[in-house]
Every structure is written in structure tokens, then in C-alpha cells.
Amino acid sequence: MELTSGITARRSALADGRELIYYDDADTTLGPERALDLRDLPERPPTASMRQDVLTGDWISVAASRQNRAFLPPAEADPLSPQTPTNPSEIPSLYDVAVFENRSPSFGPLLVDAAAPEGLADLGRIGFDRTRTSVGRCEVVCFSPEHEGSFGSLSESRARTVIEAWAHRTDELTRMPGIEQVFPFENRGQDIGVTLHHPHGQIYAYPYITPRTTRLLASIDEVGPDLFARILDNELASGRVLLQGEHWTAFVPFAARWPVEVHMLPHRHVPDFAETTTAERDELSRLYLRLLRGIDALYPTPTPYIAAWHQAPVNSHRDEVRLMLQITSPRRAESKLKYLAGSEAAMGAWIGDIAPETAADMIREALERV
């Protein structure tokens, strides 16, 4: 796909062959040249393996190499900052936004499982002791060269660059063999389990349709192919709308599970970022920033959250599953977190701590302060 709004992509590679792409802001102050990665890196770990849970049919990727990833390093050892003589980080040059293949991915780097010539068609079958190679791809999206921050701390120009990178990567990842679903997301805060302070997100390209989306497809079969249009109409008529633009609406959903839970939908049907228009991305960069800053304004300290961009499967249900943001936070009070204990974690039977209408009022009040 062609990049829009004056944003530029510059391709490079890391010393072990992993792909690296620099995305320059429309108003960048950087020149076109980028340094080479001259580190002496070991070979990439082998692609992980998946095991099927015969109780549910879910596939569990066992990626032991992830145990060695960095854990809350100081600024001088930040692996996502630009390289310096004393910090041999993952990114050789100063950048605006950078995307690269994860060194220890949960899926990939193999895209094709040579031991399974039948491909991925049999993943839906359930049986004992079933294993497969965790083919796919995992990428890191660095929002800024700064050591600390989050998407909400970006400038509008930088937010627009990240959104363009999401669209560009979604387009390219969906064209790779064996990819069934592409998932951009941001984990923010130590209470979520973040291991790096650096403002960044990730993109997972899965070799299967995820369990959450599989459940969604069952709902579409039950309710109808216009499910998302009807959700949007229903929420627009509720008292839970938080922000509304020409192209997007954000709201607290009718049956929110988490103390802070916000969904956002585009007004027209688009299956993923790659099919959004320039105007939709432009507006999103403004609305999304305001939404995240409002969520941060709920309490005196930053709000931990997962920002999950749900996209349609690559090869099916493109006319039924709509691109959707779901932000969730376990923070139920200034100094209290919701922990998934017996009912939620063991049985999947959720109990809400805050009425969605009350949560909507709280977030709207916070939005007025930003």
C-alpha cells in the first residue's frame, strides 16, 4: 500500500537479518540516511512450538526463549532506544517511529511449517498430544526514541505516523503465507506486566484465528452479519458515548467486564487498518490521543491498560468483522486493582465492579480535564 499524509518508510535490516522499517513523520527533522547495525549477534532462536489443549481446542505457543528478554532496564540500557557507543540496542539510528521483528517471538520467524505439508487447515480439529510449529510473525512498534511514555504522550503528528505504520504493517503481514489474523496492541504499565518503560506496542501475526475472534464469529452467526452496525447504533442511543467524530465513536460497552473498558468503532465497515482512508486515520490520531489522555486523567497517576485493535481474519469474514479498538484496565480505584480470581480466571464468569454507566460518567469528566 502507498503511505499517506507525507509519511515515509525506510527499510533496513538488523545484524541477524531481522527486518527493520523506519517510519518518518510528515514533519520529521531527520535526514534520509540510517546507520547500519554492526553488532555481532547470535543466530535467532528456533521457531517455537504449539501444543493443543484438548479441553478447549486452544493452541498454546511454548516460546521458552522469551524468558531471556529485558526486564525494566534503566535508560542507559534501553533496548528500544537508538544505539550509542555504550548501549548496543536494537535500533541503529535516531528515529521517529521504528518497527522491527522481535528477537524472541512467540510466533515465527518461520512462516511455513515444513513438517506439516497439509498447511494450517487442520488446526480446528481437536485431539490428544497435537503439536505444530508456531509459524507467524511478531513485531515491535517503537512509538518514539524517548525512554519513557506511551501512545497518549505522543504529538499528534507522531500519533499519525504510528497509525500509518499499523496500516502499512497490517497490509504487508496479511500478504505473508500462513497468516490468518493480524493484531496490533499496546500494553501500558507495570500492573499490566510491561517489561519495558519505552513507549512501544507490538503486532502479532497469528497462524490461526484467535479464540476471542472465533467466539465473535459464533455471535455473528447467531445475531446476523450486521452485528457491528447494530452495536454502533445501540451505543449511539445509550448514555455511554464518550467521544464522537465524523468517522469514529468511542463508548463504554453495555456489558463491560473491566472497571475501565472503552471500545471504539469506525462509522463505516472496514475490516482492518489497511482499508481505512486518509481522513479516517487523520481523525483517529486526534480522537485516540484525547481518549487515552482522558483515561490517564482518571487518577493522579497514569492508568495501566491494554489497547487492543481487533481486526478481521485475513481470509474470511471480511464483510462481517469490523475493525474495533478495545481498551481495558484493571484499575478499579486510585489504589486498587481488579485481579482475575476464581470466577473470572477459572470459569470465565465475569463480575463487574463498576456499572458501565458510572464508568462512562467518570471517563467523560476526565476527558473534560484534558
Euclidean distance between CA atoms 10 and 24, whole angstroms: 8
Catalytic-role residue among 200, 247, 263, 269: 200
Number of H helices, E strands in the chain: 6, 16
> Cell numbers of 58, please?
486452544
Helix (H) or strand (E) holding 172: helix 156-174
Euclidean distance between CA atoms 331 and 258, whole angstroms: 8
Helix (H) or strand (E) holding 182: strand 181-188
Euclidean distance between CA atoms 27 and 2, whole angstroms: 18
Q: From edge to edge, which strands make up the β-sheet containing 8-13?
A: 8-13, 19-24, 97-101, 137-142, 200-206, 181-188, 305-310, 324-329, 260-266, 248-251, 241-244
Euclidean distance between CA atoms 41 and 14, whole angstroms: 9
Active-site residue flag, 200: yes
Rounded to 5 degrees, φ, ψ at 240 are -110, 10
Give the residue numbers annotated as catalytic, written as ranges: 200
